[in-house]
Amino acid sequence: MEQFNGIIKRYREVIALLCEPSVLADPERTLKLTKESKTLEPMVTAIEAVNAADERIRQAKELLADADMRELAHAELAEAQQERDAAWNTLQELSRPKDPRDERAVIVEIRAGTGGEESALFAADLYRMYAMFAENHGLTIEPLFENETELGGFKEISFLVNGDGAWSRFRFESGVHRVQRVPETESGGRIHTSAATVAVLPEADPVEVDIRPEDLKIDTYRSSGAGGQHINKTESAIRITHLPTGLVVECQDERSQYKNKDKAMRVLRSRLLEQKQAEQQTAIASDRQAQVGSGDRSERIRTYNFPQGRVTDHRIGLTLYQLPAILNGGLEPLVDALLTADRTDQLKGKQI
């Protein structure tokens, strides 16, 4: 545990600095130190829990020498060891290098797939699920583009997820999501199978992708959907076509044409970065299993079965009979299991 003493020392230094008037007078430094303290605090709590458990283990071992206390000591030792293992696992998890992509916004794109109107309604269900999941974790949703159907579904919807840890919580959602249920449009009560695709992209830094102005075709048009008279009179919506790749990005959420262009460029950069990384991964990966957690959108990753109330993640073979809770934003059991599987694969040397 000596290797963690420096963390406790630094945490105490940061807390002391945050009490100094000279530091509080510097908003930028205060913000930096506050962020550092929030990062260190859970680690310090875990370290102290390990130390407390170690002391309980030491005391329990001493009691083993007393015949009258031996049974109680064995029970105390087992409980203390269990607490220590849990605290140690938490500490190890907190000590892992942080994925730098977690400091960026995440772009989520949902598109209706096979199934017509039912798939569009399912896309709307997925959007609602993600919005509630984000809210549960203090993340914010910023709409980018939506193509809504008459029944309230989405042929396509894209949005930004802002907040620390957004990538880790959403990274495994890329792929084909399948739903099995009786659609609202079905009069005969038959169960239909429909699908929607989800793409999750960490927002690209401008320096990561070189986009030349001459490679862009930019069109403006009138936004569609809710918004009153302004929507019909102002050509504020933006469509950007990247000519070398044929990628097309649209944004109509803002009333300002400039803001829509800025958002569309953010999405375009992220798509181009994803395309570049996908090409690199394809060239390197020789094992199909290496793409289990990569977010390959061509694979079916999850099935939502309404008649049985179950959700199955096909990548890790996990089935949960918690469909209503999951659709109401309770994705934690699935996300946690996927993170665990990913870390296990990394320890085995697999590329995830």
Phi-psi group of 11: left, alpha or beta (phi > 0 → left; psi -120 to 50 → alpha; rest → beta) = alpha
Helix, strand, coil shares, percent, the chain, to 5: 50, 20, 30
Contact 192, 115 (CB under 8 A): yes
Closest to 74 (Cα-Cα) out of 61, 86, 84: 61
Q: pLDDT digits over 10-35, tens only?
A: 999 999 999 999 999 998 899 989 98
pLDDT string in tens for the chain (352-residue length): 666 788 889 999 999 999 999 999 998 899 989 988 988 899 899 999 999 999 999 999 999 988 888 899 999 999 999 999 988 888 877 776 666 677 778 989 999 998 889 999 999 999 999 999 999 999 999 888 888 998 889 999 999 999 888 988 899 999 999 999 988 766 677 888 999 999 898 877 665 677 888 888 988 887 665 444 344 455 778 888 998 888 888 888 777 787 888 888 888 888 888 787 776 556 534 333 333 343 344 568 999 999 999 999 999 999 999 999 999 999 999 998 888 788 777 655 544 3
Determine if the pTM surpasses 0.75: no
How far is the C-alpha of 132 from the C-alpha of 125, rounded, in Å?
A: 11
Residue 28 CB coordination number (10 Å): 7
CATH (one of 3.30.70.1660, 3.30.1360.30, 1.10.150.120, 3.40.50.300) for 101-206+296-347? 3.30.70.1660
The two tokens of residue 107 are: 């772009």
**Cα maximum dimension of the chain:** 89
Closest to 268 (Cα-Cα) out of 232, 238, 298: 238
CATH (one of 3.30.310.160, 3.30.160.20, 3.90.930.60, 3.10.20.440) for 208-283? 3.30.160.20
In which residue are the tokens 């001493």 written? Answer: 62
CATH (one of 1.10.1750, 1.10.390, 1.20.58, 3.90.1200) for 2-95? 1.20.58
What are the CA-CA distances from residue 331 to residues 126, 171, 302, 328, 335 (Å)? 11, 13, 12, 8, 6
Q: pLDDT digits over 26-85, tens only?
A: 988 999 899 889 888 998 999 999 999 999 999 999 999 888 888 999 999 999 999 999
How far is the C-alpha of 236 from the C-alpha of 249, rounded, in Å?
A: 14
Enumerate the domain spans of the chain. Answer: 2-95, 101-206+296-347, 208-283
Contact 146, 225 (CB under 8 A): yes
